[in-house]
């Protein structure tokens, strides 16, 4: 059976009236989202980010949404028509409510998983690299081409933190090196290292979807699992993962967030080879001094401190 997914964007003042209106016309199974839920989610998951886009927070301010589902059939469209009429009547009866907006999602009208691709174009990064979306045709013009389809996983090369890491890898990767990519996401950093001459790479991420995406992106670039290993897990707590990844890496890269990097500093010594490099990024400017202090306290020597668009990276030995 096919379903229609409907949304009514409301406000805290009108959300209860909207729900009552839908129930009165026989529509149940409502999913209610509001700003309070959003803020609770942010507070309970602070370990995963230091920065939330201001536009996103602004878009959620004083906003509520009711989601409900109707059969994609004549009966469903009759209910949809009833909901539209009832919503118009509710708005007229309560002019003090902000505008109530009804929208519909379905596969034919809103292919949201692919629409974002129109905004993702080939990007030249540093002196040698070019990141090319898999669905685009582009002449690398003598650069090292990294073909990528990130799906819905972080890591396209467009974010400042990723570019900071790529330009640092461009300068530091040498043939024969072993690279460890912590929080690998789409695999962009470890795959770039392999294309730049590294012998092998190991990537890990707490998101299980990253394993499939990273392997697929490696295959797009002619890199097999003989040189590239990707696993899901938490490097700080997963003993089995730590045992499998081992140590003595020439470069350990972590493009994550400040809190995770702070937790990693004491473990870096066991992961990298003597004289090996630790490259970390994903650090918002307000946390840079704190991270720098922890890196030094862990006995690491900071070779480079770079910044772009309010984000910092550190290259350490």
Average pLDDT of the chain? 88
Q: What does the pLDDT read at residue 109? A: 40
**β-pairing, 272-284 with 249-255?**
parallel
DSSP calls for 141-194: TTSEEEEE--TTSS--S-SHHHHHHHHHHHHH--TT-EEEEET-TTSHHHHHHH
Q: Tokens at residue 181, please?
A: 């990519």
240 contact partners, CB below 8 Å, separation of at least 6: 233
**Residue 12 or 165, more confident:** 165
Find the range with the poorest average confidence among 42-46, 142-146, 207-211, 286-290.
42-46
Q: What is the mean pLDDT of residues 210-227?
A: 96
Nearest in space to 101 (alpha carbons), one of 114, 121, 120, 87:
87
In the chain, the DSSP E strands lie at 3-10, 31-34, 64-71, 101-105, 123-125, 129-133, 144-148, 178-182, 200-205, 228-232, 249-255, 272-284, 302-308, 311-316
Least confident of 44-48, 183-187, 242-246, 257-261: 44-48
pLDDT digits (tens, 9 = 90+) for 261-316: 999 999 999 999 999 999 999 998 999 999 999 999 999 999 999 999 899 999 99
């Amino acid at each position: 059976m096919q379903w229609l997914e409907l949304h009514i964007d409301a406000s805290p003042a009108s959300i209860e009236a909207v729900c009552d209106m839908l129930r009165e016309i026989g529509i149940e199974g409502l999913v209610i989202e509001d700003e309070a839920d959003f803020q609770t989610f942010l507070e309970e998951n602070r370990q995963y980010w230091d920065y939330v886009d201001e536009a996103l927070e602004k878009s959620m301010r004083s906003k509520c949404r009711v989601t409900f589902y109707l059969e994609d059939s004549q009966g469903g469209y009759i209910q949809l028509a009833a909901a539209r009429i009832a919503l118009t009547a509710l708005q007229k009866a309560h002019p003090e409510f902000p505008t109530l907006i009804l929208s519909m999602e379905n596969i034919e009208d809103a292919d949201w998983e692919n629409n974002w691709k129109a905004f993702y174009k080939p990007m030249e990064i540093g002196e040698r690299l070019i990141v090319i979306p898999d669905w685009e045709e582009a002449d690398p013009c003598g650069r090292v081409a990294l073909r990528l389809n990130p799906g819905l996983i972080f890591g396209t090369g467009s974010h400042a933190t990723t570019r900071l890491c790529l330009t640092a890898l461009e300068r530091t990767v040498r043939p024969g090196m072993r690279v460890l990519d912590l929080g690998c996401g789409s695999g962009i950093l470890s795959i770039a290292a392999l294309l730049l001459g590294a012998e092998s790479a190991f990537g890990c991420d707490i998101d299980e979807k990253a394993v499939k995406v990273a392997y697929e992106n490696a295959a797009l670039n002619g890199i097999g699992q003989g040189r590239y290993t990707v696993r899901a897990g938490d490097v700080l707590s997963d003993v089995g993962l730590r045992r499998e990844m081992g140590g003595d890496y020439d470069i350990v890269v972590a493009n994550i967030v400040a809190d995770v990097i702070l937790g990693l500093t004491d473990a870096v010594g066991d992961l990298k080879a003597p004289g090996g490099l630790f490259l970390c990024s994903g650090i918002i400017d307000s946390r840079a001094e704190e991270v720098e202090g922890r890196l030094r306290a862990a006995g690491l020597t900071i070779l480079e401190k770079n910044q772009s668009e309010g984000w910092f990276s550190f290259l350490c030995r």
